[in-house]
């Protein structure tokens, strides 16, 4: 696959020997890429650079990030993003989280992890990690692929990530390291950077503690954009899936952040499933909305309304059949690109919610199970299975958007926590 146009590195960046300022138990003196000095003046320079990057990107290149599709492990891969872009031209797309160590160790095989088609813009690369040297190197290696933003994962509760991996949501307990990581990422790229996090971890879940994390990261790094999953994470005893439903949603924390940090940008995430809910969240003051499983499991009905209902574009006349025809061309062009992968099953996986709640959906899935056993192309798979779907479904354009539950956001605005206890900037910057 072709790489997108790359970005040049900052010319002033040089490899220097740097000692991590705080002993995190897993770091030592490491060879990392960063600016030779760290000072308040440099910090303000970083802030100016970040603001300039964001203003250029949002104002001149792409629509504002009012709507984005969440990074989801094993879901938001190249295949799903290709399908999503066929349905919506304006939604911001995120990659799966890719560990910095994976990027560094797969240096000779990067296309498999980082390549994407140019039509996928605007697209954000999400990386995770707990080693500053690898984070710096991974950022540099990703530059040539031309992502529009780099996001750092501080929200994944998976035991593989937050437990043994010591990154993901566990990093919320160490805002100083997150600030260092964001500074390293920003110093090694010329695109905006952002953090995705939860509202707390285990019993560290007060609004004051969330504000402390946001303030320290934003004041000690160029980070000006935070994606807030409005649940806390429970690291012991429940699965990642349960972490998406058992901890209660606290949208009031999100809207309080918007109130208390007027110079930052916040995207709300968690429990939002319809376009109606997206627009209501924005009307209530959200800077942007990120949707996860609903965009994957019901892609046609949700992504199909993004451009018109959120961005004001004319309602698209494209049909499911037309989307599938274009997707089939893509799918058959990448079959076996990396040896046995991707196979037909990999390429059809993003389509399993394409006919959500439509006549013939159940029969189509049963036919799909049988076709996976012998079909060797996407074209032959479609020829064998799409007979289950009525023409009226395949050839109908996008219809009215489904109604969602919208009162939760107005309720949240009435439940805002009080502003955080004030802490002197000097104490936070040099704690």
156 a catalytic residue: yes
**Better-scored residue on pLDDT, 34 or 409:** 409
Q: Which of 49, 154, 156, 166 is catalytic?
A: 156
Q: What is the pLDDT of residue 241?
A: 84
Rounded CA-CA distance 328/14 in Å is: 45
Reduced to 3 states (helix: H, G, I; strand: E, B; else coil), residue 399 is coil
Chain segment 359-392, per-residue pLDDT in tens: 999 999 999 999 999 999 999 999 999 999 999 9
Work out the average pLDDT over 220-224. Answer: 98
Rounded CA-CA distance 60/27 in Å is: 40
Work out the average pLDDT over 122-151. Answer: 97
Task: Say if residues 287 and 265 touch (Cβ distance below 8 Å).
Answer: yes
Q: Categorize the per-residue pLDDT at 146 as very low, low, confident or very high, splitting at 50, 70 and 90.
A: very high
> Phi/psi at 336 (nearest 5 deg)?
65, 20
Which residues does 197 contact at the CB level (< 8 Å), separation at least 6? 154, 155, 169, 172, 213, 226, 227, 228, 229
Q: What is the pLDDT of residue 9?
A: 26
Chain segment 251-290, per-residue pLDDT in tens: 999 999 999 999 999 999 999 999 999 999 999 999 999 9
Query: Which of 160, 272, 165 shows the shortest CA–CA distance to 227?
Result: 272
Rounded CA-CA distance 289/228 in Å is: 10
**Better-scored residue on pLDDT, 217 or 399:** 217
Q: Work out the number of other CB atoms within 10 angstroms of the CB of residue 243.
A: 22
> Phi/psi at 308 (nearest 5 deg)?
-85, -45
Residue 39 has pLDDT above 70, yes or no: no
């Amino acid at each position: 696959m072709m790489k997108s146009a790359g970005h040049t590195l900052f010319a002033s960046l040089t490899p220097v020997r740097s000692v991590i300022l705080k002993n995190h138990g897993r770091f030592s003196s490491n060879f990392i890429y960063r600016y030779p000095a760290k000072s308040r003046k440099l910090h303000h320079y970083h802030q100016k650079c970040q603001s300039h990057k964001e203003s250029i990107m949002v104002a001149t290149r792409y629509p504002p990030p009012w709507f984005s599709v969440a990074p989801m492990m094993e879901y938001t891969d190249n295949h799903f993003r290709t399908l999503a872009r066929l349905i919506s031209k304006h939604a911001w797309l995120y990659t799966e989280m890719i560990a910095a160590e994976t990027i560094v160790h797969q240096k000779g095989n990067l296309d498999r992890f980082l390549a994407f088609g140019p039509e996928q813009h605007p697209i954000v690369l999400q990386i995770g990690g707990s080693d500053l040297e690898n984070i710096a190197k991974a950022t540099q290696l990703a530059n040539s692929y031309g992502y529009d933003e780099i996001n750092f994962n501080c929200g994944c509760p998976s035991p593989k990530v937050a437990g043994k991996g010591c990154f993901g949501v566990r990093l919320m307990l160490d805002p100083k390291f997150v600030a260092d990581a964001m500074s390293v990422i920003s110093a090694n790229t010329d695109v905006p950077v952002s953090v995705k996090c939860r509202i707390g971890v285990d019993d560290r879940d007060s609004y004051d503690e969330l504000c402390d994390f946001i303030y320290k990261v934003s004041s000690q790094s160029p980070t000006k954009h935070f994606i807030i999953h409005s649940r806390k994470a429970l690291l012991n005893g429940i699965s990642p899936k349960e972490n998406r439903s058992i901890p209660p949603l606290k949208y009031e924390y999100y809207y309080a952040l918007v109130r208390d940090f007027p110079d930052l940008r916040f995207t709300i995430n968690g429990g939002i499933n319809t376009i109606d809910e997206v627009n209501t969240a924005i009307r209530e003051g959200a800077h942007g909305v990120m949707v996860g499983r609903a965009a994957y499991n019901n892609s046609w009905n949700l992504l199909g309304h993004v451009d018109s209902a959120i961005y004001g574009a004319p309602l698209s006349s494209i049909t499911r059949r037309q989307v599938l025809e274009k997707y089939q061309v893509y799918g058959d062009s990448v079959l076996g690109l990396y040896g046995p992968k991707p196979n037909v099953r990999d390429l059809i996986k993003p389509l399993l919610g394409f006919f959500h709640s439509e006549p013939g959906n159940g029969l189509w899935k049963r036919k799909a199970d049988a076709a996976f056993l012998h079909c060797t192309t996407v074209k032959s798979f479609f020829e064998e299975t799409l007979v289950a779907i009525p023409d009226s479904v395949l050839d109908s354009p996008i219809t009215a958007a489904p109604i969602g539950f919208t009162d939760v956001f107005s309720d949240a605005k009435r439940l805002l926590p009080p502003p955080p206890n004030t802490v002197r900037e000097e104490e936070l910057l040099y704690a």
